Amino acid sequence: MVDISKINDNTYEVPIGYRPGMRVPGRIFVSAALREMVEPGTVDQVANVATLPGIVKYSMAMPDAHLGYGFPIGGVAAFREDGGIISPGGVGFDINCGVRLLRSDLEAKSVQPLINTLVSALFEAVPSGLGATGRLHATDQQLTEAFISGSKWAVEEGYGFEADLTHCEENGHMPGADPAQVSVRARKRGRPQLGTLGSGNHFLEIQRVEEIFDEEVAKKFGLFKGQITVMIHCGSRGAGHQICTDHLEVLSKAVKKYNIDIPDKQLACAPLGSPEADSYFGGMVCAANYAWANRHIIAHWTREVFKKYFPDSNLDLVYDVAHNVAKIEEHDVDGRRERLYVHRKGATRAFGPSRSEVPDAYRKVGQPVLIPGSMGTPSYVLCGNDRALDITFGSACHGAGRVMSRSQAIRTFTGKSVQDALNRDGIVVRATSPNMLAEEAPQVYKPSGDVVDVVHNLGIATKVAKLVPLGVSKG
């Protein structure tokens, strides 16, 4: 972390001049303890993003930031509609990887005796793993409708409830989808995977609310100490990955066509308003909507499992947030309202009470911000603050952030050792392969509590509740 300056206890600046061509400074939001975990390559990526045309204020990295494709994971950058760009590297391959939180009316003491049974039932009900195919068997027409309408389409098909939509970011579907920008191969990959969990850090987790930090906001969110919650973490599966791959090829050529000077080919981009930018945006929105439909279907099957064992219980949706997406939003920049394309890659929207995008149920306090843990470590529910609009364009962290590669994790841990350690801590886990458990060992991530404390102390989002895992289904 050389050549960067400390602004305050949780903010470091990468100055203009760190890298030739920087248009704005970089901002890395970390505490002193987390600062040492930020790789030099991540700092370089923050500086690289700062060279892109039309970038506003700062190139930013959240406290969970680590090396990514082009942009760091945990990266946030906003670009002016006039003169700016859009870049798949600022969204990621797993478009709209995100988190959905369901709250129950059950207390942990009534669920704990059945935790093994519940985890096994969820593992069977929700297909998971690399290349997993779902129970849905969607037709081409259904896939197209999912691309266009997201969770709204899922509700129309009988999955979930109309009321769920008001508790999703963008009501579970973004406008601007263009299925014509989805290739045959992306459709072929996506069609059989609707309603599947995926692999890597994705999970379906039964949790207990261990601690409440803000009683008033927790009550608004319907959370109480000792309560059972369920968290779903997944994205757009093979469809999103292929959409990103396809458009990266096009945008790599667009850089030369429009004479855009980039310091890293992974920052392939196109000017906003160009045909290439419009095509990517239309395809990206399809993938984002697919991901919302995917989580909606998984939530429906999760509810069915709980109804089987707890017939009188309900699982209500607290909120659903996207982690990897580019959104058109209005923000105040130097005293003027502007339309910006805000890229959040491994970052969560954290809007406060002043924003009309916050659902009516939460308008008085701000939107729920969902920060998943890392299989064995706590997850957190926070509340977005208006202060975040000035600091990060209304953005917060999205998880703990890796400090060890998957290959290194496999060399360091075994699936059995990870499972045994989780069992000793009273956590039941089911996974498709031992290697998956090794890759996702809790030790390969930053401490989730330390990451969350940074955004809390900055006033970007305030802590509401701490959730600890009881049982985990992994891809």
Distance CA(127)–CA(463), nearest Å, equals 32
DSSP letters for 62-122: EEEEE--SSSPEEEEEEEETTT-EE-GGGT-SSTT-EEEEEEEEEEHHHHGGGHHHHHHHH
Amino acid present at 214: D
Confirm if 50 and 72 have CB atoms less than 8 A apart: no
For Cα atoms 132, 135, 139, give the angle at the middle one, nearest 5 degrees: 100
Distance CA(23)–CA(12), nearest Å, equals 17
Distance CA(360)–CA(43), nearest Å, equals 39
Amino acid present at 259: N
Confirm if 454 and 34 have CB atoms less than 8 A apart: yes
Amino acid present at 258: Y
Kindly name the residue from 167, 202, 398, 456 that is annotated as catalytic. Answer: 398
Which helix (H) or strand (E) is 324 found in, with range? strand 324-333
Confirm if 95 and 219 have CB atoms less than 8 A apart: no
Is 398 among the catalytic positions? yes
Which two structure tokens, joined as six digits, stand for 81? 């509609």
β-sheet bridge partners, residue 319: 101
Nearest to 4 by CA among 368, 16, 266, 464: 16
Q: Is the dihedral of CA 196, 202, 205, 209 positive or negative?
A: negative
Active site residues: 398
